[in-house]
Amino acid sequence: MVDETREKEWFVPKQGPARFRRVVGLTFYPYSLMNASYVLIGSLLAPSVHYDRMAGMAFVYLLAVGVAAHSLDAMGPNKPWGEVLSRRRLLILALAGLVPSLGIGLYYAVAFAPVLLPLGLVELFFLLSYNLELFSGRFHTDFWFAVSWGFLPVLAGFMVQTDGLSWPSLAAGLFGFTTAFVEINASRPYKALKKGAAGDSMEVAARLEAILKGIVATVLVTAGFLLLRSVVG
């Protein structure tokens, strides 16, 4: 029997009740941390770093992507986590992540960086159109995934510090785009293989899993290195 959920993927706890494992898996926590790390990378490229703004913007993305986006995705017809949470509970969870993230983001935009306003609207558009597969799924593609959750978070991190852009921030945005693009391209076949792979398919799944872990580690280590360099001076 093919497992129609994503319980077999590497980031899902191997122990504990099925409901607990699926709820933890629903957050996609390694990829959510990867997304927040893009914000850190962008912020740490600024000439002068306000660490409170950096932390706040990273928290915005953790709420918006780690909670809201993944809850909306779980409401889709594919139901990647089965019936672990009802549609109503998923909607409540999505709003619990989206509303405060919008409020915090709006505060930073009004108080420090008005340029965040159009970027925030674009990110909100992608959050809804990608995860709910609006417009016949036109924006539910690897390219737009990499733009919205790889490229733009880096820019958001830089913008909240400077209220502007720079060539280094755009170059870092390309790093975010590329790593996010590799991640999603490895994730899709990996997900399919882990649902019921055996034999040679398991070997392919293991290679894809190594790529996924390596991409997550690369982004987190990059953010950690830049943070250490910034603190040490």
Q: Dihedral of CA 231/156/128/196: which sign?
A: negative
Q: Which amino acid is residue 175, in one-letter code?
A: F
Query: What is the b/e burial string over 45-78, where b = at least 16 CB atoms within 10 angstroms of the residue's CB?
Result: bbeebbeebbebbbbbbbbbbbbbbbbbbbbeee
What is the phi-psi region of residue 48: left when phi exceeds 0, alpha when psi lies from -120 to 50, beta otherwise? beta
Task: Read off the pTM.
Answer: 0.93
- Name the token pair of 224: 């950690």
Tens digit of each residue's pLDDT, the chain (233 residues):
345 677 888 998 888 888 888 888 888 999 999 999 999 999 999 999 999 999 999 999 999 999 999 999 888 766 777 677 888 999 999 999 999 999 999 999 999 999 999 999 999 999 999 999 899 889 999 999 999 999 999 999 999 999 999 999 999 999 999 999 999 999 988 888 877 655 567 888 889 999 999 999 999 999 999 999 999 87
Residue 178: the pLDDT is: 98
Residue 103: the pLDDT is: 97
Q: List the chain domain ranges.
A: 18-226
State the CB neighbour count (10 A cutoff) for residue 137.
11
In angstroms, rounded to a whole number, what is the distance separating the alpha carbons of residues 109 and 112? Answer: 6
Residue 202: the pLDDT is: 81
